[in-house]
Chain A
Amino acid sequence: MARFDSKICIVTGGARGIGEKTAEMFVEQGGKVVIGDNNEELGSAVADTIGADARFFKMDVADPASCQAAVDFTVSEFGGVDYVVNSAIAMAPGALKDLSPEDWNKVISIGLTGTFLMSQAAGRWMIDQGRKGSIVNLSSIGGITPYGMSGAYSTVKAAVIMLSKHLGIEWAAKGIRVNAIMPGHTETPLTSYLQDPEIKKGRSEVTPLQRVGQPVDIANAILFLLSDEADYITSTGLLIDGGLAASVMNHLPGRKWD
């Protein structure tokens, strides 16, 4: 029996990057997936490539009706919802001094409110049905250490950790586990700046494992937390950053113990 036989997952932001890889691997391992994304062209192409066990659903995670519709669609297509991966995010980088309220709101509404609304819509269905579930929310290393010039991104990602813990303790007794993951530098369309060899080299060198992450690295952790292997794991966050967050003292110029 495959790891995710008869399991059904919604992946928001599934049209690209980490969400796309997660959707692909989830189906490879026996599950059925609904890719929720606002990019119809990319999202439906991903679903087509994955095959018969994938559907695309065009949605806006910041709209509660759209999140509810995603749940309804998933239930009608596949018969239920077991898992949610919230990976949808928008970026609006900029210095805080210059950041517009529009850019602030955009990142908060998609990255944070969207994570809440999608979790709530799916969680309500699971609770009503008395069905166990698991939700994984994409935070970031930027959620535990401020990511300068990223606009509202770090604030959103920090809040996603707390939202995950909070959902986790409120829903634990109902059999729904909720966790956050914190990727480090990961090569995705969102981080296209990593295509610049100089940036990629620099970012690899500051990471103890000496490389940036790939979507498969992050998808592996997401699938672990979704699965029954993680049956006693809830309300926590997991770093997948090659050791970057722990390496601050590696980067102090002039210090040299050896």
Chain B
Amino acid sequence: MMLKGKTIIVTGGASGIGRATCVLAASEGANVAIADINKELAEETQGLVEAEGAKAIIIEMDTSKAADAKRMADETVKAFGTIDGIVCSAIKLKPSALEDLSEEDWDMVIDIGLKGYFLCAQAAGRVMLEQGSGSIVFISSIGGVQAYNGAGAYSVAKAGAIMLGNLVGVEWGNRGVRGNTVAPGQIPTPMTAAMFADPEIAAGRAAVVPMGRVGEANEIAEACVWLLSDRASYVNAATIKVDGGQAESKMMHTPGRNWGGKKIQYKAN
């Protein structure tokens, strides 16, 4: 088991990629702290973690509040004795054209998706620095390396998360704490469920990925668990894209380009 005896915090652990990470970490032997604003869904995750034979606590919190982040670290240490890793995945999406984006919506996404990552990593990181070891993983997005039009502040927060992961790795690496980022492609989760419910959108989104399908939350969790584990002990300040090749597929989607003698079949909505 890759995380045997380790204690892992997952922010946004109540659902989606966060939940999948909680369950996979549990199956690899970790104690899990589920940090989320949604207690009801967090309890469902807790049940799934316990079904793996692992221990879980719930920390009901707003990741964008420093006092909550400190309480998150304190309660985890109180329950499990220390913190060995944290996956920051809590985010809220507020799509909008930039010209219409309100200050409140900008602040909300940046507060949770970027400031919240910092505050939670800092609070957990202080414990790890004291201990002299730990691994911090930020969930970014393909939207952090490619501008995601219409997504409001999302892309900017996700690009910031990559740099924050690098910064953590560079500042804390010499004290045993690694910082890395995972950048998922299109993954159906509760956050994106409404969009993927439209079959035309779902088909279009799968078609633009070189692998011909969207990903699964569990496939992101695999990368997170690997980065948390000692198998990634020299991986620091790095980003793993888990996107089926989508970020590199730009030239596949250029209409009229035709190296192979046949027209590019590109179906999108």
Contact = CB atoms under 8 A, between A and B. Distances in A.
Interface stretch (A45-53, A87-95, A110-118, A236-244): A236-244
Interface string A194-235: 000000000000011111011001101100100001111111
Contact of B212 (A173, A240, A243): A173
A147 B236 CA distance: 20
Contacts of A172: 209-212, 244-245
B26 to A, nearest CB: 16
Contact of B238 (A211, A232, A240): A240
B215 interface: yes
Interface in B235-269: 235-245, 247-249, 252
* 10 tightest A-B CB contacts, nearest first: A208-B173, A172-B210, A217-B234, A246-B237, A235-B245, A243-B236, A243-B237, A232-B219, A239-B238, A235-B248
Residue of B166, B223, B232, B238 with most chain A CB atoms under a 10 A cut-off: B238
A139 to B, nearest CB: 13
Contacts of A250: 170
A19 B215 CA distance: 30
B244 A213 contact: no
A217 B210 contact: no
5 contacts: A168-B248, A209-B236, A238-B240, A241-B236, A245-B237
B235 A234 contact: no
B174 A209 contact: yes
Main secondary structure of the interface of B (DSSP, over half): mixed
B178 A246 contact: no
A5 B173 CA distance: 35
Residue of A217, A232, A250 with most chain B CB atoms under a 10 A cut-off: A232
Given A217-B233, A220-B231, A241-B238, A232 B211 contact: yes
B235 A238 contact: yes
A169 B174 CA distance: 37
A209 B222 contact: no
A218 B233 CA distance: 10
A138 B166 CA distance: 22
B93 to A, nearest CB: 21
Contacts of B240: 233, 236, 238
Interface of A: 165, 168-169, 172-173, 177, 184, 207-211, 213-214, 217-218, 220-221, 224, 229-236, 238-243, 245-247, 249-250
A217 B231 CA distance: 7
A211 B220 CA distance: 29
Given A172-B211, A224-B231, A208 B237 contact: yes
A146 to B, nearest CB: 19
Nearest to B227: A224
Interface string B171-196: 10110001100000100000000000
Contacts of A241: 234, 236-238
B50 interface: no
Interface in B201-237: 209-212, 215-216, 219-220, 222-223, 226, 231-237
B169 A243 contact: yes
B238 A165 contact: no
Residue of B185, B222, B247 with most chain A CB atoms under a 10 A cut-off: B222
B266 to A, nearest CB: 13
Nearest to A238: B240
A153 to B, nearest CB: 21
A233 B243 CA distance: 6
Contacts of A245: 237
B241 A246 contact: no
Nearest to A247: B170
Nearest to A168: B245
Contacts of A220: 231-233
Given A208-B173, A209-B173, A246-B166, A169 B210 contact: yes
Given A208-B236, A239-B237, A234 B174 contact: no
A220 B227 CA distance: 11
Nearest to B240: A238
Nearest to B172: A208
A43 to B, nearest CB: 26
A246 B219 CA distance: 26
Contact of B223 (A168, A233, A247): A233
Given A169-B245, A172-B244, A234 B226 contact: no
A217 B185 CA distance: 26
Contacts of A234: 210-211, 244-245
Residue of A168, A177, A209, A249 with most chain B CB atoms under a 10 A cut-off: A209
Residue of A207, A217, A240, A242 with most chain B CB atoms under a 10 A cut-off: A242
Residue of A169, A229, A246, A247 with most chain B CB atoms under a 10 A cut-off: A246
